Amino acid sequence: MSDIIEKTFGQRGQNERVCRVAYTLNHSQPILCTIIDDTPLFYFDEEPLDDEINIEDFEGTALEREIHLLKEEIATYDRYALFSKKDEEKRLQEFSENFTSIENFHTGETSEEINPLLSILEKSRLASAFLELAEKHKITIKKSRQVEDVFYDRRAGTILLNPEMSEEDQILLLSRELRRHWQHRQGALINPLLFHPDNAILVNRLQEADLSASMIRIAWELQLSGNRAVWDRIEDSPMSDLARAYVREANQDFRTINNGTASAAVFEAWFLSERCRQQDKKLVQAMLADYNGYVFEDIQSSRTLTAELISGLGSMPYGKNYLSVHANIIMNDPIFTEVRDRSNANFLWFIKFERSFKETEHELQNDPDLSTHDIRHVVKSQTQDPLHASEPAAKIVQLFGTQETNSKTENSGKPSRRFAKTGKNDRHLQPGKGENIIHLRFGSEE
């Protein structure tokens, strides 16, 4: 169909007749039509739909839905209206009963449920020594769902253990916290934020690596005692690389277990892994959130304390200290001290720059020699001295007498004798003792 006025399928219509609608009947010759309507394009077989019927159906459905919701609300109000109002005394009584039940709720489990884990740990020689030290200092071990896994609370003297974990995980993490308590008693559990940023990175790595080495050794000793499940858990975990390093040394010579060689191998494998980057990121975030600053401001004293801390970390209840021999290497080898991640290194540089800037600014504010008030005070006292106010700083002394030249001498072309000897009347021009003299010479020396 087309609504072109002048042409319809290539034929020109008459000018006096205007084609409004053009259509065909069974693909035959087009027929011109001049029917004018509000809808000029229409079909003869079109059946108009009754819109009023659809509107009535829609309105009826929406009305029924609203009525249903209203009935539900009325039923809810009626249900609450059936309850009688409680008096004030009864409400206070119920509140006190609820408060008593909450107060008597214990998050920790009984000691009977923690004993099976302790009996398993006692089969390890190292873990049993840690348990004896904890018992000596009255450290209580109990289960609690308020912690994510295991947490050693130094102030409360408690080790909290989450009972939702598997038995193998509970044993491994409990051995880790027992080793952390050992670090505390040896004076090696110092907050890394107290050190200089460069040494804080090393201290944090040392503490975490020592905990991992102790976990591997306790799991190996339990495996030797017949409890294979804990060691299998280590091999199936991300700590399998540390386990292989320990087994390599222990299988070659069993004496490496007590002399610390196997633990030192685990310690070195920890530093060669990506665990350094993860621990550095956590420590850098803690440094950015810290506002107190480090305690050991002198970097040399911080390094000395770091050497002592390395020896404290390597101590064992029995056997040889596995870190004291390697203390010098640990403090100077880039494998142990270098910050490998670029973002961590950038943040660490920013932390050191910010702290050094604050220290310098604080020193300038507190130094009396560099304060502007003292400088102004000294200058003011010198300018207001009455003894030196009237005396000049120096006198100008004329070395040779001069003679005036008349106009005839100047026009004669002869050189004038402008310099003459000083007479006796010039004694008052002689300098006195202690006076500053400025020599002024006129003309050439010839």
Confidence (pTM): 0.56
Cα→Cα distances 88→80, 84, 99, 123, Å: 19, 13, 17, 60
- Of the chain, the end-to-end C-alpha distance in Å amounts to 125
- Nearest partner of 137 among 147, 150, 122, 152, judged by Cα: 152
Interval 336-365 mean pLDDT: 75
Say whether pLDDT at 435 is over 60: no
More confident residue, 410 or 280: 280
How far apart (Å, rounded) are the C-alpha atoms in residues 71 and 77?
10
Residue 188 has pLDDT above 70, yes or no: yes
Q: How many whole angstroms separate alpha carbon 249 and alpha carbon 265? A: 8
Winning range, highest mean pLDDT, from 60-74, 182-196, 262-276: 262-276
The pLDDT score that the predictor gives to residue 270 is: 95
Q: What is the pLDDT of residues 75-100, one digit of tens each?
A: 888 777 666 566 677 778 887 877 77
Q: Which of 39-43, 146-150, 356-360 has the lowest mean pLDDT?
A: 39-43
Q: Give pLDDT, residue 61.
A: 75
Is residue 268 within 8 A of residue 329, CB to CB? The reply is no
How many CB atoms neighbour CB 324 within 10 A? 16
Instruction: Report helix angle 228-235 to 167-185, nearest 10.
Output: 90
DSSP string of 387-402, one letter each residue? HHHSS-S-EEEE-SEE
- Residue 197 CB-half CA count within 13 A: 23
Distance set, CA 365 to CA 293, 351, 357, 374, 379 (Å): 18, 21, 12, 12, 20
- Cα gap 54→57, rounded to integer Å: 5
- Residue range 376-407, pLDDT digits in tens: 444 455 545 555 555 555 565 555 554 555 55
Q: Which band of pLDDT confidence, cut at 50, 70 and 90, is reported for residue 354?
A: confident
The residues, any chain, with a CB within 8 Å of residue 385's CB and separated by 6 or more, are none
The answer to whether the beta carbons of residues 420 and 400 sit under 8 Å apart is yes
Bridge partners (DSSP) listed for residue 420: 401
Residue 157 vs residue 367, higher pLDDT: 157
Burial class (CB in 10 A: 0-12, 13-18, 19+), 156: exposed
Which run of H or E residues covers position 150? strand 150-153
In this prediction, residue 40 has a pLDDT band, given cuts at 50, 70 and 90, of low
- Percentage of the chain lying above the pLDDT 90 cut: 28
Reading the block at residue 446, the tokens are: 């010839």
In the block, tokens 């006076």 appear at 435
Nearest to 215 by CA among 192, 243, 187: 243
- Looking at this protein, which amino acid is placed at residue 413? G
pLDDT at 318: 83
Residue 419 backbone dihedrals phi, psi, to 5 degrees: -105, 130
Most confident of 20-24, 113-117, 124-128: 124-128
